[in-house]
Structure 1
Amino acid sequence: MTEARSKRWVIGALVTLSLIILSAPTLVVLGASFTAGNIIAFPPDGLSLKWYAKVAGAADLRQAFWRSLQVALICTAIAIPVGTLAGLALAKYRVRFANLLQVYLLLPFTIPLIGSGIGLMLLFGEAGVLGSLWPVGVAACVINLPFMIWAVSASAGALDPDLELAASMCGAPPLQTFLLVTVPAVAPGIITGSLLMFILALNEFLVSLLLVDARTVTLPVQIYNSIRSIITPDLAAISVVFIACAALAILALDRLVGLDIFLKSK
């Protein structure tokens, strides 16, 4: 009993330490964003909402956020059909070289982002489309697409094949079976992957830095350009906005499909 209690204490202490380490940066940024002073500091020098008001009134930040939102929407719009079809194919069918494809899906995580970014920059530069927002959305989709595929594959793996067979026996054509049976059955995976792709694209920095110009600066790049001169509390306020967006996405994910679907997709 004493040994079991000791293990519980050790595990509890490790979990508590991990939670503190993970949450400390967020708490520091959150506190610094409410400072009443003119220099970013923690603990904050008084409490004030003036930096949030400054962010709300900054036209360049609003425009940069709108561009980031467009990039995230483009990325998600591409990822939904491509990731869904690829995830279903890998989960339901005997695809040739399936193991090789699984390894290929790991490439975005094994190749440094700077390498992927330079390659995409050269590709889009040769095509003469640099300076537009849609190449940034395509690049974000290419880099993060494995998340979408894994989320759909997790849902497709739990799909009962008898459902599609029953629809076929009832006379439903393949397209109708796909739209009315298969897609609703894997909808949790599609929703999970879509929300994740949206958040990842919204926060994409390194590839965006290589693909945007002065006319198409996204919010992460705008923040980077600002901190090169001086770090002010308004940047902490912007960071809190990003954290809030991620928290809302997680809340929506939990309400729509449950976090267990997301965890299984990992």
Structure 2
Amino acid sequence: MIGSRSKTIVIWTFVAIALILLSAPTIVVLGASFTAGNMITFPPQGLSVKWYGAILGASDLRQAFIRSLIVSAICTVVSIPVGTLAGIALAKYKVRFEKAIQIYLLLPFTIPLIGSGIGMMLVFGNMGVLGQLWPVGIACCVINLPFMIWAVTASASNLNEDLELAAANCGAPPLQRFLYITLPAVLPGVITGSLLMFILALNEFLVSLLLVDARSVTLPVQIYNSIRSIITPDLAAISVVFIVCAGIAITLLDRLVGLDIFLKSK
């Protein structure tokens, strides 16, 4: 009895330490964003929401945030059909070179992002499209697409093949079977992957840094350019906005498909 109680105390102690370490940066940024002073300090020098008003009035931050949303939208729109079809194919069919494809999907996690970024910078540079937003969205899709494929594959692996066979026996053509049976079955994975792709593209920094110019700076790059001179509380406020966006995405994920499906897809 005493040993079991000691084990419980040790486990919860480690859990509490982990929670504190994980939440400490967020708490510091949150507190710094409400400071009444002109420099980032924690604990804050008084409480004020003036820095949130400042970022609303800062046209450079606002425009950079809009560009980041556009990049995330492009990344998500491209990843939905590509990731969905690839995930279904890997889960349902015996694809040639399947092992090679699965290894290839691990490349974004084994090749440093700086290498991928330089490669895409050279490709888009030769095309003469550097400085536009759509190449950034495509690049974010390329480096994060495995997350979309894995999410769809996790849902497609639970698809009952008997339903498709029954529909085929009833005379349903392949497209109709896909739209009415396969797609609804993998929809939780599609939603999970889409939200994840959106958030990852919204936060992408290194690849974006190599592909944007002064006319198309995204918000992470704008924040980086700002902190190179001085760190002011408005940057903490915009960081809180990022955290809120991620929190909204997680809430939507939980309401739409449930966090258990998301965790299984990982």
Q: Same fold (TM over 0.5)?
A: yes
Residues 206-261 of structure 1, C-alpha deviations (whole Å, 9 max, x = no match): 00000000110001100000000000000000000000000000000000000001
Residue 2 of structure 1 and its aligned partner are, at CA, apart by 1.7
Residue 149 of structure 1 and its aligned partner are, at CA, apart by 0.3
Residue 5 of structure 1 and its aligned partner are, at CA, apart by 1.5
Task: Provide the residue aligned with 2:26 in structure 1.
Answer: 26
Residues 69-115 of structure 1, C-alpha deviations (whole Å, 9 max, x = no match): 00000000000000001100111111122122111101001110000
Whole-angstrom CA distance in 2 between matches of 1:204 and 1:12: 34
Residue 166 of structure 1 and its aligned partner are, at CA, apart by 1.4
Whole-angstrom CA distance in 2 between matches of 1:26 and 1:3: 35
Task: Provide the residue aligned with 1:15 in structure 2.
Answer: 15
Task: Provide the residue aligned with 1:96 in structure 2.
Answer: 96
Instruction: Give the alignment's TM-score, normalised by structure 2.
Output: 0.99
Residue 3 of structure 1 and its aligned partner are, at CA, apart by 1.6
Task: Provide the residue aligned with 2:212 in structure 1.
Answer: 212
How large is the RMSD of aligned CA atoms in angstroms?
0.6
Task: Provide the residue aligned with 1:37 in structure 2.
Answer: 37
Whole-angstrom CA distance in 2 between matches of 1:16 and 1:155: 33
Q: Given the alignment of the two structures, is residue 113 of structure 1 paired with residue 120 of structure 2, yes or no? A: no
Residue 6 of structure 1 and its aligned partner are, at CA, apart by 1.4
Q: Which moved more, 1:168-177 or 1:185-194?
A: 168-177
- Unpaired runs of 5+ residues, structure 2, are none
Amino acid at match of 1:61: L
Describe the SS at the equivalent of 1:68. helix
Whole-angstrom CA distance in 1 between matches of 2:247 and 2:115: 30
Whole-angstrom CA distance in 1 between matches of 2:229 and 2:167: 62
Amino acid at match of 2:229: S
Amino acid at match of 2:238: I
Describe the SS at the equivalent of 1:186. helix
Q: How does 1:181-260 map to 2 (within 5 A)?
A: 181-260=181-260
Residue 62 of structure 1 and its aligned partner are, at CA, apart by 0.9
Whole-angstrom CA distance in 2 between matches of 1:262 and 1:164: 25
State the identity %: 77
Describe the SS at the equivalent of 2:9. helix
Task: Provide the residue aligned with 2:4 in structure 1.
Answer: 4
Whole-angstrom CA distance in 2 between matches of 1:114 and 1:136: 14
Task: Provide the residue aligned with 2:175 in structure 1.
Answer: 175
Whole-angstrom CA distance in 1 between matches of 2:239 and 2:46: 19
Task: Provide the residue aligned with 1:151 in structure 2.
Answer: 151
Whole-angstrom CA distance in 1 between matches of 2:171 and 2:66: 47
Whole-angstrom CA distance in 2 between matches of 1:49 and 1:40: 14
Residue 184 of structure 1 and its aligned partner are, at CA, apart by 0.6
Moved beyond 4 Å, runs of 4+ = none
Task: Provide the residue aligned with 1:134 in structure 2.
Answer: 134
Residue 8 of structure 1 and its aligned partner are, at CA, apart by 1.2
Amino acid at match of 1:192: T
Amino acid at match of 1:243: I
Residue 164 of structure 1 and its aligned partner are, at CA, apart by 1.0
Task: State how many pairs are aligned.
Answer: 266
